[in-house]
Structure 1
Amino acid sequence: MKEQIPAELEAAKASLEQAEAELAKTYIYAGVDGSVEQFTLQVGDYVNPILRPAGILIPEKFSRNKRFLASFGQISAPVIKVGSYVEMSCLSKPFTVIPMVVVDIQDVIPSGQIRQEDRLLDPQIGLLPGSLTVFLEPVYPGSVDEVLTGSTCLANAYSNHHDVLHEGDVGSVERVYLHAVDTLGLVHAIILRIQVFMLPVFSLVLSGH
């Protein structure tokens, strides 16, 4: 009797630990704080994290930081640097030009990826030239608070040669070239403001929606 009761107690403890382990498998914990959107799970729905998730987790840090992703042509790669000034306008905040700054640049061009298949692949088929991917953050805190995450935006990046032109050791040809580049940036800024004004008009009036 003295041996039977302790053995049954240990067996009961082991069964309890196994039940707790099985119960823990029914809970899913996210690695970050955030909110679950598009959660349309109903009783009987099949849930799989790869093929059919029950919802989309939007990390709180992602929504709070308001970092934007922009793409520019590959020819802009030598010009756009970290710290470059950018002006942006978004559909969710119309008639507004928001000052932004480049905080990071992806060091690869997203084009030319090839997946191993059972057929020969012609690189000329279906491969579009990729763009330069940059990350933007607002210059002034709070300027993008009203912009919804995931908004469609227009952005123009500008170069600034003011300091170079005032150094005095710039040649005449280079000085004319830098002035032309800065003037072109001014023209692009004017075009952006025209687009900022016309985009809501096209979206609300001329599109018929």
Structure 2
Amino acid sequence: MSERTYHHGNLRAALLERAWEVVDAEGADGLSLRQLARDVGVSHGASARHFRDKQALLDALAVEGFQRLNASLGDAVAGDAPFADRFRAAGDAYVSFAVRHPAILRTMYTAKHHAAASADLVEVSHVAMPALVALITAAQDAGELPPGSAQEAAVVAFAAVHGVATLATDDLLNGFPWQDATAATIASVWRGLVAAGSDAPTT
């Protein structure tokens, strides 16, 4: 593939696409800027014009990962389906992404917490939680969930779903299907949120 094939940012996109494939299959340790340049048929110097070093590439890859994950979660919570269904769809979307792309997800969170994380990465990594908070708030306003801290409820939900994702990707479910574990966990969290109203003090 000739370097002259690339115009108007196509090379950056091609490098990022190939980096996604490598990290998805081998993890971040398997990524090399020089090999990446060879894979897409350009010089190392040409690739360096888009990514100054490996960390910059991982940062961009993490941004791409969060954008894809956020889009999936956004689709899950959008629409007019019952709040419980959208809550379940969001959790399933998260675990599904983790199971399909475990190395990508690990890279996303590692890059997010790196000292050199870009402002774009920090911003895009914080998109999903407000969307979940908004969903829970809407469910509270509709009377399907009791009043309370939507932020706290969202953190509890994320912790539970991320836990299932970690168990699934680390092969710690002992043969229990991750889909069933996800469904059971999300259902349990939702029941807990609904039941929280019964724990409120009475006057």
Q: Same fold (TM over 0.5)?
A: no
Which structure would you say has the larger Rg?
A: 1
TM-score (norm 1): 0.28
Structure (1 or 2) with the greater helix fraction:
2
For normalisation by structure 2, the TM-score amounts to 0.28
